[in-house]
Amino acid sequence: MTVEDEIQFERDGNVARVWLNRPWKKNCVTVPILERLDEIITEVDKDPDLRVLVLRGRGGTFCSGFDLDSLQAEYIGSSTAMEVAVISAKICDRLYSMNTPSVAVLEGYVTAGGFELMISCDFAIASDDAKIGDFHMRRGLFGGAGPIYRVPRMIGIRKTKELMLTGKLLSGVEAADFDLINKSAPAEKLDETVEEFVGQLTDKSPFQMRITKMTIDRSLDADTQSLMVMEHLAVGVTLNSDDAAEGVAAFLEKREPKWTGR
């Protein structure tokens, strides 16, 4: 199989659907797969018709992590050991920082590198019976693409330590209670729940989606006064955009807005 077979990119109206497709290995990833994901992120962000990226795994599982055969053969005990973390962290950060909002759809195993992909997405929706956790501790490993700086911001220090130091797996229901994901649904209602959630994103201004997502992403990394300045600038940019003018006009004229993304 080619890397394009192992990570598939489909356009579905305003939705970019990205599928990890190695179900015989529980969709574990490799460096070429991550590099292809990076290319897809760039392609999606350049396409004005794509409003949301949905990341999912074939065969009823999301992603069980990095391919351990590849890790053992190419990185463990090697002078290039840190390289896999550098590559993984860079691409997960690109996923986190992309202009287009992203939704991870979680089924089966969501562990290690799969967990890192999940926390790099803006939103996550899980099947009630998913198995979600950092998991590295169980293999004597350390996650190199986001757990120590993404997870505490989501769920706090104590819950992060509980999750990472025990290596425990959470069901979708438990992950929602942990505030680690947005929603959990019974397996038979997962697709319906995902589409309802995605629909709340595709009908909004892509210009304002980008501005709001970008500023929220920085909201825990600066002091209040700096964030106020950023907020002022964001308002100024917004009020000079075509989408703001269209949004106000559509409301006053009692019609649906027609966004241009500018």
Residue range 217-234, pLDDT digits in tens: 999 989 999 999 999 999
Of 92 and 144, which is predicted with more confidence?
Answer: 92
Sequence length of the chain is 262
- Nearest of 101, 102, 105, 92 to residue 63 by alpha carbon: 105
- pLDDT, one tens digit per residue, over 81-90 is 788 889 999 9
Question: pLDDT tens digits, residue range 129-150?
Answer: 999 999 999 999 899 899 999 9
Q: Is the pLDDT of residue 54 over 90?
A: yes
Q: Rounded mean pLDDT of the chain?
A: 95
Distance between CA atoms of residues 66 and 83, nearest Å: 13
Burial category of 38 from C-beta neighbours within 10 Å (exposed 0-12, middle 13-18, buried 19 and up): middle
CB 52 within 8 A of CB 14: yes
Residues paired with 52 in a beta bridge: 15
The structure tokens listed for 205 are 């201004």
pLDDT at 239 over 80: yes
